Chain A
Amino acid sequence: MTKTERLAAIFGIAFAIAYAPTMDFNWTFATYHPIQGIWQLLRNPPLGGGSPAMYWYGFVITSALVAAAVTGIAALLPDSWLNRIPWRTLSWLIPILSIVYIGYVLLPYATKT
């Protein structure tokens, strides 16, 4: 596995690890108010007047920033440390576990009437 492949795997893994709790606990980087067309930093309530607040863009940004930071730190670590970790397996296993977590969080949608 080349260094580039390892860092790409780390980015995907870190994104998946960060994303599930980010959407669960609403650690959004930004809030978008679609009716007013206004962006606000971090989590903010709807502005009123029936306008929803959109957090999903912020989830993606939060997770991407975390993943980029983790990947940047990993790039500085010696290869001998990173070679011990099965990145190839983790690159699909962690996203699947993240999907299971997200599915569990969204389960009420399937059960409420």
Chain B
Amino acid sequence: MQVGWSILLIIHGILAVFLLGAITHQAIGVSWPVAKRSAGFVSAVRGVNGMSYTNAVVILFVTTFALGCIIYPTYRVNVRTVLQELHLFKPEGAFEMKEHLLALSLALLPIYWLYWHKASEANRGTRAVLTSLIAVAVWWGFLTGHVINNIRGFGS
């Protein structure tokens, strides 16, 4: 059974990496667009077509979120109790924040998708803030999950 949870956690982590890549590209592209495409890595990142990432971001977010919901009880029983016993309140609080940031981001996905679906110069500012907001939530979730897994990964 423990192996099964570990496999789910690893899949959750891999999907989170894909999501991080997609949302980060999109957030940089819309917040810091390149005026004239030139050679180089930074220019290439800034010059991505954000619209092509939208469906992938939504699917990856929902899938990663759903997997997180499935493995969450295992964290609650086997990991959080240890954090409390060891007085590791900062990682515990960071995980609490992760839950809330990602729940809020989930509710923003419909408007995020609609704005990107009909992307225009008029809604570029809103798209930039919404995408960055979701990107920050995903980064927070990923880094917190990584730290928590370092403290007490499943099977440890």
Contacts and interface: CB of A to CB of B under 8 A. Distances in A.
B6 interface: no
Contacts of A59: 103
Contact of B100 (A12, A64, A102, A109): A102
Nearest to A52: B76
A89 B74 CA distance: 38
A39 to B, nearest CB: 11
Interface in A47-102: 51-52, 54, 56-57, 59-60, 63-64, 67, 88-89, 91-92, 95-96, 98-99, 102
A5 B115 contact: yes
Contact of A8 (B89, B97, B110, B123): B110
Contacts of A98: 104
B76 A11 contact: no
Contact of B92 (A15, A35, A96, A109): A109
A113 B89 contact: yes
Q: Which of A19, A95, A113 has the most CB of B within 10 A?
A: A95
A108 B108 CA distance: 27
A19 B100 contact: yes
B104 A15 contact: yes
Contact of A23 (B76, B94, B100): B100
Contact of A19 (B77, B103, B118): B103
A103 B99 CA distance: 12
A92 B129 contact: yes
A110 interface: yes
B107 interface: yes
Nearest to A98: B104
Given A54-B73, A109-B89, A95 B108 contact: yes
Nearest to B113: A8
Contacts of A5: 111, 114-115, 118
A113 B87 contact: yes
Given A5-B115, A52-B76, A91-B126, A67 B107 contact: yes
A113 B74 CA distance: 25
B108 A54 contact: no
10 contacts: A8-B114, A11-B110, A56-B99, A60-B106, A64-B107, A88-B126, A91-B108, A99-B101, A109-B90, A109-B94
Query: 6 closest A-B pairs (Cβ-Cβ)?
Result: A109-B93, A34-B73, A15-B107, A8-B110, A8-B111, A92-B129
